[in-house]
Structure 1
Amino acid sequence: MNVIIACQTLRDEVEKALKDTGVKYPVLWIDSGLHNYPDKLKTKLQEQIDRISNTENLILVFGNCGNALNGIRATTGRLVLPKIDDCISLLLGSVQKRMEISREAHSYFLTCGWLAHESNIVKEHKRCLEKYGEVRGQKIFKAILAHYRKVILLDTNAYPLHEIEANVKRFAGDVGLDFQVVPGTLSYLKKLFTGPWDEDFIVVERGEKITFEMFGFINQNFLQISG
């Protein structure tokens, strides 16, 4: 049996990919708030992996956010995960696509899943204005986002875009950033669920662990475009 362990942020996309592919694997959801605490995320993931039994493959729907996957051990089955830096690349379909967009302009990416979390950037902006007032709050937030040039809303076709587009566009205008809707894709997710697991994936055999070097080419490429 295969089991999926996925970030709650990607729930819309995961559920649609499962429906589209007809895959029936059980899914264990990890609280998206743990992304802000990589050590806690790592601990939670390892706990989930350790308690699973009677499984062949554990499919991790995570990027190496905050290097949280480094050191995770395949204690109860083979680990399979996308070879990506974070879930933005996953929803764009490739690391290469992410790099192309990053070369054009430093962008802040959002989806419905990211906006659902209590500490998302739009809610934090609102709280900042309430705490410091309109003028000072806007200055503070523009300073926080100073190295960004654009807010990108990913349209993954997994949620009704019209329900959030106006709100995100308004936020972008408030903080002085351009706004753009960019098509996402579920192709990477679907391949993660169905295979084949080729060079776009990391497969860690039982008893082994995920290492930073497994993501090395990604980190090297991003250092090149950000330097």
Structure 2
Amino acid sequence: MDKKKRTLISCAMLADEVNHILQQTDIDLPVIWVERGLHSTPEKLNRILQHYIDALQNQDEILLTFGLCGNGTAGLISKHTMLRLPRFDDCINQLLCKKPRTERKQTETDAIYLTRGWTLDKEAILQQYQILSRQYEPEMRNMILQTMYDGYHTLSVINTGCFDLKPVEQYADQAAACLNFTRNTVSGNISTLEHLIVGTNDPNILTLNPGEMIQASLFEL
């Protein structure tokens, strides 16, 4: 690999996958970790990412693990440095994508997906269940959960091969029991993330020249 100055800005939700790739490839790449869960507040995510991008204009490339993320990356611009990021709506679709990519959405409409990173989120299912159990009687708690997860019936663990699977499946079994969901495990794919970090050309990665703005239309197939 050449000696380009490169920095990765990554959601902490993907820490297992990013660290696994860095260890396997022995790449010395600086990483700025952004707190997990900001896809639910895209305006805040956008401000934070733009701040970091502006501070990294001495780099040759800035890499983002974020996809469109609820339009959280739309409008971002790097005036003097190239930007590269996955061409996916979100990291779930990125981790589920099998090569070659043939459709925009990889998810099942009635499924909630998780990796180990998701189980650590303060708003993850079991954490929500425990908080609601302290605040409400069981009938009200269950009514709130039913409203929150209306339309979903399955909890799917994405096995990316980057974390100990058994504890995550145990977490998912408990969470599925709380929601009366079915639970399964599906295979994941970290090839796009690996290509982003290694610097391999990949049609699933967007490359923007300095001064080009990230637009939502760029993520369309």
The TM-score, its normalising length taken from structure 2, stands at 0.90
Map 1:1-227 onto structure 2 (within 5 A): 1-94=5-98, 96=102, 99=105, 101-102=107-108, 105-217=109-221
Query: CA separation of 1:64/1:161 partners in 2, compared to 1, >3 Å: closer, same or farther?
Result: same
Give the 3 Å change call, closer, same or farther, for CA 164–100 of structure 1 in structure 2: closer
Distance 1:116 1:108 in 2: 15
- Whose helix proportion is higher, 1 or 2? 1
Write the distance in 2 (CA, Å) between the matches of 1:210 and 1:7.
Answer: 18
Extract unaligned runs of 5+ from structure 1.
Answer: 218-227
CA contact (8 A) 2:20 2:162 kept: yes
Q: Identify the residue that residue 220 of structure 1 maps to in structure 2.
A: none
Distance across 2 between alignment mates of 1:86 and 1:37: 14
SS across alignment from 1:4: strand
- After superposition, the Cα gap between the structure-2 partners of 1:98 and 1:20, relative to the gap in structure 1 and judged at 3 Å, is farther
- CA distance in structure 1 between the partners assigned to 2:15 and 2:103 by the alignment: 22
CA–CA distance in structure 1, aligned partners of residues 103 and 178 of structure 2 = 28
Aligned Cα RMSD in Å? 1.8
Change (3 A) 1:7 1:16: same
In 1, distance between residues paired with 2:53 and 2:142? Answer: 43
Q: Structure 1: which amino acid aligns with 2:65?
A: V
C-alpha separation between the residues in 1 aligned to 2:219 and 2:12?
A: 23
Q: Deviations over 1:45-80 (max 9, x none)?
A: 000010114311111001211111100001241000
What CA distance in whole angstroms lies between the structure 1 residues aligned with 2:60 and 2:53? 12
Q: Verify the 8 A CA contact 2:83 2:208 in the aligned structure 1.
A: yes
The AA in structure 1 aligned to 2:187 is P
1:2 maps to amino acid:
R
Partner of 1:223: none
Question: Structure 1 pair 39/154, CA: closer, same or farther in 2 (3 Å)?
Answer: same
Following TM superposition, by how much is the alpha carbon of 1:176 offset from its aligned partner in structure 2, in angstroms? Answer: 1.6
Tell me how far apart the structure 2 counterparts of residues 176 and 197 of structure 1 sit (CA, whole Å).
43
4+ long deviations beyond 6 Å? none
Identity within the alignment, %:
29
Report if the CA contact (8 A) 1:49-1:75 is conserved: no
Separation (CA, whole Å) in 1 of partners of 2:171 and 2:129:
12
Secondary structure at the counterpart of residue 209 of structure 1: coil
TM norm structure 1:
0.88
Q: CA deviation at 1:216?
A: 2.4
Deviations 1:73-123 (A, max 9, x none): 012410001100100122123565884542xx5210111111112122221
